[in-house]
Amino acid sequence: MGITLTERLRTIANMVDEGCRLADIGTDHGFIPIYLLTLGKIRYAVASDVHIGPLDKARENTLKYGVGENMRLCRADGMEGLGQDEVDTAVIAGMGGELICRILERAPKSVKTLVLQPMTDLEDVRKKVHKIGFTLVQEKIAREDNKFYIVMKARRGACPYWSEQDYLISPLLLKDEQFGAYMDLKISQASHALEQLEGSGREEVIKHFETIKTCYEERRKQWKQCRM
């Protein structure tokens, strides 16, 4: 029996291109590369983590599922442990956006495709992806345990113009069936923040959340129009 992935991990795995050579950065238990190798979707994988505990678990799983010949385990910080031209695709998932941005700054030139799932700071991650010469080509929403996770896919190449609103709420998400529910949550969160700030006198912060809420409302309206 193969590995059964959660909705979040399955969404990430589904974005990986068939036949690629994959680096899973911060691999944890190695589930994504092992899953893809058992399906025959990828040729080779590097499972990298800075901590020895997750790598020990990943090693156990490679033996359990018989993929050790096509998967190298690597203890390293970010992409530091990757060999020259060893991989062409990198998955970086389940980390804060600030950490993902730092890791992306040292992406090898051989990496042509990124699959990212930041837990925070999505806007900053999108900006960093474009800044380092990649183009965002797909974004999907994974819903798991009543939480929403955004998974991004990018390819190396010059990016089109994106507005500040685009970076806040990606236009690529307008294609997702769950976008309306996701926007409802974000609008509710922004409204709650404004209620908490009422009477505080923190005008700049209030204006910030008002701008964010307006962006969310406009994107949700745009999504509804696309579906008519």
pLDDT at 159: 82
Q: Is 171 within the bounds of a domain?
A: no
Q: Is 56 within the bounds of a domain?
A: yes
47 lies in the same domain as 93:
yes
150 lies in the same domain as 189:
no
Exposed, middle or buried: residue 216 (CB in 10 Å: 0-12, 13-18, 19+)? buried
Per-position pLDDT tens, the chain of length 228:
678 899 999 999 999 999 999 999 999 899 999 999 999 999 999 999 999 998 999 999 999 999 989 999 999 999 999 998 999 999 999 999 999 999 999 999 999 999 999 999 999 999 999 999 999 999 999 999 989 999 999 999 988 899 999 999 999 999 899 999 999 999 999 999 999 998 888 999 999 999 999 999 999 998 888 777
Exposed, middle or buried: residue 160 (CB in 10 Å: 0-12, 13-18, 19+)? exposed
pLDDT at 1: 60
pLDDT at 75: 94
Domain boundary at 104, 126, 159, which?
159
101 lies in the same domain as 208:
no
17 lies in the same domain as 112:
yes
37 lies in the same domain as 141:
yes
186 lies in the same domain as 75:
no
Which structural domain, as residue segments, surrounds residue 204? 179-226
pLDDT at 215: 94
122 lies in the same domain as 39:
yes
188 lies in the same domain as 154:
no
49 lies in the same domain as 146:
yes
How far apart (Å, rounded) are the C-alpha atoms in residues 139 and 208? 25
85 lies in the same domain as 187:
no
Q: Count of alpha carbons within 13 Å of 15, Cβ hemisphere only? A: 29
CATH code at 36? 3.40.50.150
pLDDT at 226: 79
Q: Is 54 within the bounds of a domain?
A: yes
Q: How many domains does the chain have?
A: 2
92 lies in the same domain as 197:
no
Domain boundary at 109, 125, 159, which?
159
